[in-house]
Amino acid sequence: MLDFLPHITNANVMAFLMLLLRFGGILAFFPFFDNQLIPVSVRVALAFILAVVFMPMVKDVVVYESLTTFMIAGAFELMLGFTCGLILQLVFSSIIFAGDLASFAMGLTMASAYDPMSGSTKPIVSQVIVFLSILMALHFNFHYLLLDIIAHTINDTPLGGFLLSDDMVKYFIKAFANMIVVGFSMAFPIIAVLLLSDIIFGMIMKTHPQFNLLVIGFPVKIAVALMILAVITPGIINVFRHDLSEAMKVLWKVLSGN
């Protein structure tokens, strides 16, 4: 019954704690798991279970001579989790940016509701698009894909040996710029159609001063924008899926140390 006791050595305990910090950092910054709907206790328990499951896969165990060195290595593991989470957060941020632009163009910026995932108030249109993207990501098992990537690269990046390379810094700068471009391109059809409708309403008001824009114009704009949003939503989700797959490839490179 107590056959596992000989395996409880200083090296194995250090490796387990490092693995626990790695999973803890990933779950702390990972999209969907970083929301307020999932209690911290659940995330800690999940990180502990994953560390127990993945512990037999660890081959190279590093023994740290001092507590200071061990703490520095633990900080590098948390940095690894933050880096992985940031890569995926940039993909989801493009969806949020597109939803905010669409809400602003539709005049629904004030039509906001409490978002239980982030704990803040966000436009309803943005929340709907984000929820659809999360459901799509879960439908394609991207959370299982992350665990598969960790399982195949757990020995490529030594525990406590993660270093942020110059290529990763360049990638984050490029990804941030791409987030703005992609988010604007997603919302551009709505912005273009509403801009055209503003021009048409302006021409109508010029020729027919009795035209009441507040009573007729704004409801028509919102109805047209909702129809355009229903048409372009599959395209938005398709772009999001492509960006998510590219982010997973970058995640593989980060965890494999390439």
Residue 157, classified by CB atoms within 10 Å of its CB into exposed (0-12), middle (13-18) or buried (19+), is buried
Q: Tell me what pLDDT residue 116 has.
A: 60
Most confident of 30-44, 213-227, 232-246: 232-246
Q: Tell me what pLDDT residue 249 has.
A: 81
Report the sign of the C-alpha dihedral through residues 138, 86, 111, 231, in that order.
negative
Distances, alpha carbon 150 to alpha carbons 58, 107, 254, in Å: 11, 44, 10
**Tens of pLDDT, residues 118-175:** 666 777 777 777 778 878 877 878 777 777 777 777 777 777 667 777 777 777 788 7
CB within 8 Å of 59: residues ≥ 6 apart: 155
pTM over 0.85: no
Q: Tell me what pLDDT residue 118 has.
A: 61
Q: Using a CB cutoff of 8 Å and minimum separation of 24, what contacts does 53-58 make? A: 54/19, 54/23, 54/150, 54/151, 54/154, 55/12, 55/15, 55/16, 55/19, 57/151, 57/154, 57/155, 58/15, 58/19, 58/154, 58/155, 58/159
Dist CA 241 CA 131 (whole Å): 14
- In 73-175, DSSP assigns E strands to 112-115, 120-123
Dist CA 101 CA 115 (whole Å): 18
Distances, alpha carbon 240 to alpha carbons 8, 92, 243, 247, in Å: 45, 8, 5, 10
Closest by Cα among 104, 90, 37 to 243: 90
Q: What percent of the chain has pLDDT over 70?
A: 82
State the first-to-last Cα distance of the chain, in angstroms, to the nearest integer: 42
For the chain, the domains span: 5-256
Q: What percent of the chain has pLDDT over 90?
A: 0
Report the sign of the C-alpha dihedral through residues 85, 86, 90, 91, in that order.
negative
pLDDT band at 2 (very low <50, low <70, confident <90, very high): very low
Closest by Cα among 43, 25, 24 to 35: 43
Dist CA 164 CA 170 (whole Å): 11
Distances, alpha carbon 97 to alpha carbons 35, 58, 116, 119, 214, in Å: 18, 40, 18, 17, 27
Question: What SS3 state is found at 66?
Answer: coil
User: How many whole angstroms from its chain centre is CA 162?
Assistant: 21
Mean pLDDT throughout 226-243? 81
* Whether the predicted pLDDT of 4 surpasses 50: no
Weakest-pLDDT range from 72-76, 100-104, 122-126, 130-134: 122-126
Mean pLDDT throughout 46-71? 77
Mean pLDDT throughout 74-78? 81
**Of 52 and 2, which is predicted with more confidence?**
52
Answer yes or no: are the C-beta atoms of 194 and 105 closer than 8 Å. yes
Q: Tell me what pLDDT residue 7 has.
A: 54
